[in-house]
Amino acid sequence: MAFVGQIALILIATLLAAAISQRLGMPAVIGQLIAGVILGPGILGVLQNTELMHAGAEIGVIILMFIAGIESDLDLLKKYFKPAMSVAAIGVLFPMVVFYIYGQIMGQGFERSIFWGVIFAATSVSISVEVLREFKKLNTKEGATILGAAVVDDIIAVILLSIFVSSFGVGGGGSANLLVATIYQLVYFLGVIVLVKWVAPVVLRLAERLPVHGSVAITSLVICLAMAWSADALGLSSVVGAFFAGVAVSQTKFQDEISSSVSSVGYTFFIPIFFVSIGLDMEFNNVIKNLGFIVIMTLLAIITKLFGGAVGAWLTKMNWSSAFIVGSGMVSRGEMALIIAQIGLSANLMAKNLYSEIIIVIVLSTIVAPMLLKKTMKV
């Protein structure tokens, strides 16, 4: 029952912290993360990252990525395919190259330097959407390009994460393992195509006929968890399976119903546990000493996405004013980068002594992003 008490504490703390965060004009996820930091070993020490906490967080991240997949608008991506691909590709390339170089300068080695790039290649567009909606720019070419590029960004980030965890993570590495991992990934992604096109629609239609309340939502969770488990069993990351299970569901007529049901389960219980668990891993012993590192990383995080996205948009014949709106909309890292960072830590792809600093950089870039986007839209 001690864990039940901890869950109650997590839920009320994240609820209040998220409300305060949004009242201050910041994303709710920042408040949830800070709640974990305050309650964890870093400050009060009320909560510990126990096995039960880890299990709850694992389910939370799987559901979060499932929802991200469900909300991926592939129709929008098809409509603005060229600018979205250009923005996403260059917006991923810039951080990968720049953070790899900085990682080498900092003596992080090949795998960890590249993984810094993977973390900061991700984009969380949910915050940018609110700003675009406020300025009535959501349905413009700039808004649609940001949304389309974010879909591609998420897919690229998930695939990169999968490759790095299976190839260089704990138990990975070596040319033989790399070859086997590549074959597994190819087979798995072929299976994803089959799931999206044929399996998910048929299975969900059959579930609809069952005389059970919530049968479609339950079946969708079965698909999600099965995909997450199979990805993990093949040496990939579980979030890869969850994300593509969501993409499969998004292509069916049940998308809205499932999104509503799963979001209720996720955001009221499991997802707060995940964000709190990230805060539980943070330590502040070296933060002051590494303040210069945090400042440089934050500037690189902002600049690489801002200019990467802007250049990508400019190459598709947008003027520089519109291009910088697009670049600003891609700066926010949010939950996607937090997920990648935590998985990287557990797979030994990140130095534990720099984990807290990396999380701080993700949080800072997420806070700066909406302010930057508002500034570029007012110019």
Give the predicted TM-score (pTM) of the model.
Answer: 0.80
Inter-CA distances, 174 with 163, 171, 200, Å: 13, 10, 35
pLDDT value of residue 301? 96
The structural domain count of the chain equals 1
Is 62 a residue whose pLDDT tops 60?
yes
CATH code (residue 229): 1.20.1530.20
DSSP letter, residue 124: -
Q: Measured between alpha carbons, how far is 183 from 287 in angstroms, rounded to an integer?
A: 41
CA distance 7 to 204: 32
Model confidence at 302: pLDDT above 60: yes
pLDDT at 175 over 50: no
Q: Which helix (H) or strand (E) holds 158?
A: helix 141-168
In this predicted structure, what is the pLDDT of residue 149?
87
- Domain presence at residue 35: no
Using the predicted structure, report yes or no on whether residue 262 has a pLDDT greater than 70: yes
**Average pLDDT for 224-246:** 87
User: Does residue 305 have a pLDDT over 60?
Assistant: yes
- Name the packing angle between helices 271-280 and 51-70 (round to 10°): 120
CA 56 to chain centre: 18
54 found inside a domain: no
pLDDT at 212: 95
Q: How far apart are the first and last CA of the chain?
A: 56
What's the CA gap between 373 and 379, in Å, rounded? 10
Amino acid occupying residue 231: A
Tens digit of each residue's pLDDT (9 = 90 or more) over 316-351: 999 999 999 999 999 988 788 998 998 899 888 888
Domain span at residue 177 reads: 76-260+296-378
